[in-house]
Amino acid sequence: MTEENKFSMNQDILILAIESSCDETAAAVVKNGREVCSNIIASQISLHTLYGGVVPEIASRKHIEKINQVIEEALSEAGYALQDMDAIAVTYGPGLVGALLVGVSEAKAISFATGIPLVGVHHIEGHISANYIENKELEPPFICLVASGGHSHLVEVKDYGKYEIIGRTRDDAAGEAFDKVARAIGLGYPGGPKIDRAAKEGNPQAIHFPRARVEDNDYDFSFSGLKSAVLNYINGCQMKGETIPVADIAASFQQAVVEVLTEHSLRAVRQYGYDKFAIAGGVASNSALRAALQTGCEKQKIRFYYPSPILCTDNAAMIGAAGYYEFIKGVRSGLDLNAVPNLKLGEG
Ligand code: KG4
Ligand code: ZN
């Protein structure tokens, strides 16, 4: 059946989605953009933990080992054959170039061999679109905070596939700060979930860490000063021969990040005149951040949307959701699709 016939007959659109931009090899089958038929994630975290962070070369090699298996599992768990798919959606940036290339090459090979159309997807657009999966009523426009290991963006989601970045980090991403602080206090990689857990035992008011303001854009973030303040505090403890108060540092650091992210986000929602706000990316699974945003949104009568933790960190279901909206708009990628490690949001 041709694509046009399929659209006009209101038939289901099935997307096979592939994600390999960092340290998760993932594939998913997504129906009509919002229904997840399968969502398979092979995490490499235990491998990279040995080195205290993601080693790009190891990530690429592991993706190659896992990708076919993950795709087969995604199709079989969903109960479909490859030929049932209407499109192959794949993350082509931003991310680690060697890691991205594995997914992109795989998707191109499948598309070439089967004739199934190919749709390149922006990783951040994927994170934002994770919100559509469990919130069937959510439609643009809205404001979204994307906070992950590589990005901290405040985004105005004007329409499907139409974004304006209104704030970004000037230095470290929020997740990167979590990872670096966790390493410094001996919690290891990945830092976010470990600080989240340790903070529950600590006092968020115990140590006052700075909340950076960025001079010329009220919506931009800066986390490197906060990270340095934590490192200085740890040095101070060591020089005085004091034990490092891990739980209090975790709680106080987390509180500083949460306050800044919450304050910027709620101000953006108000000033842009929206009543809907969503969060996305690995840091969006942080329990203190979710609680602070929930309370803030309730006070200001803003509807607050957030994905389940498994859809916050890297996965392919979110790429399938984003890929669907690109696909129905008519976006198609050629076999010359390449990995773009620093792809900007809104760039085609
Ligand atoms: O979205 P993601 O899986 O990968 C990127 O696109 O970067 O995000 C991973 C980041 C890591 O920095 C990790 O430490 C952080 O998200 N993260 C968290 C939590 N879970 C993951 N940060 C704070 N609290 C969490 N619960
Ligand atoms: Zn990500």
Q: 269 alpha carbon to ligand 1 midpoint, in Å?
A: 23
User: Which of the pair, 4 or 39, is modelled with greater confidence?
Assistant: 39
- pLDDT at residue 30 in the model: 98
| pLDDT at residue 189 is higher than 90 | no
Q: For residues 218-222, give the mean pLDDT.
A: 94
Is the beta carbon of 94 within 6 A of some atom in ligand 1? Answer: no
Q: 143 alpha carbon to ligand 1 midpoint, in Å?
A: 20
- pLDDT at residue 1 in the model: 56
- pLDDT at residue 190 in the model: 85
| pLDDT at residue 346 is higher than 90 | no
Is the beta carbon of 230 within 6 A of some atom in ligand 1? Answer: no
- pLDDT at residue 54 in the model: 86
The residue assigned the tokens 């969502």 is: 39
Is the beta carbon of 307 within 6 A of some atom in ligand 1? Answer: no
Encoded tokens for 186:
């001996």
- Which of 283, 312, 314 for a ligand 1 pocket mutation test, highest count of atoms within 8 Å of Cβ? 283
**What CATH number was assigned to the domain covering residues 139-310?**
3.30.420.40
Q: For residues 297-310, give the mean pLDDT.
A: 98
Percentage of the chain lying above the pLDDT 90 cut: 88
Q: Peptide bond before 141: cis, by omega within 30 degrees of 0?
A: yes
3-state secondary structure of 234: helix
Q: Which among 264, 237, 233 has a CA at the least distance from the CA of 170?
A: 264
Encoded tokens for 149:
């290991």
Q: Which among 111, 62, 55, 120 has a CA at the least distance from the CA of 86?
A: 111
Ligand nearest to the CA of 188: 1
Q: 313 alpha carbon to ligand 1 midpoint, in Å?
A: 6
Q: 236 alpha carbon to ligand 2 midpoint, in Å?
A: 34
Ligand nearest to the CA of 23: 1
Please give the number of the atom of ligand 1 that sits closest to the Cα of 21: 6
| pLDDT at residue 157 is higher than 80 | yes
Ligand nearest to the CA of 150: 1
Is the beta carbon of 220 within 6 A of some atom in ligand 1? Answer: no
A 10 A CB-CB count for 98 gives 18
| pLDDT at residue 134 is higher than 60 | yes
Which residues fall within 8 angstroms of residue 343, CB to CB, at 6 or more apart?
92, 93, 94, 122, 123
Ligand nearest to the CA of 288: 1
Superfamily of domain 3-130+312-328: ATPase, nucleotide binding domain (3.30.420.40)
| pLDDT at residue 214 is higher than 90 | no
- pLDDT at residue 158 in the model: 97
Whether 139-310 and 3-130+312-328 are alike in CATH topology: the answer is: yes
Is the beta carbon of 91 within 6 A of some atom in ligand 1? Answer: no
Answer yes or no: are the C-beta atoms of 273 and 279 closer than 8 Å.
Answer: no
- pLDDT at residue 201 in the model: 98
- pLDDT at residue 272 in the model: 97
Q: Are strands 152-159 and 303-305 parallel, antiparallel or unpaired?
A: unpaired
| pLDDT at residue 205 is higher than 60 | yes
Which residues fall within 8 angstroms of residue 111, CB to CB, at 6 or more apart?
88, 117, 118, 335
Domain ranges of the chain: 3-130+312-328, 139-310
Please give the number of the atom of ligand 1 that sits closest to the Cα of 148: 8
Q: For residues 25-47, give the mean pLDDT.
A: 95
What's the mean pLDDT when you consider all of the chain? 95
Q: 23 alpha carbon to ligand 1 midpoint, in Å?
A: 11
Please give the number of the atom of ligand 1 that sits closest to the Cα of 151: 7
- pLDDT at residue 4 in the model: 57
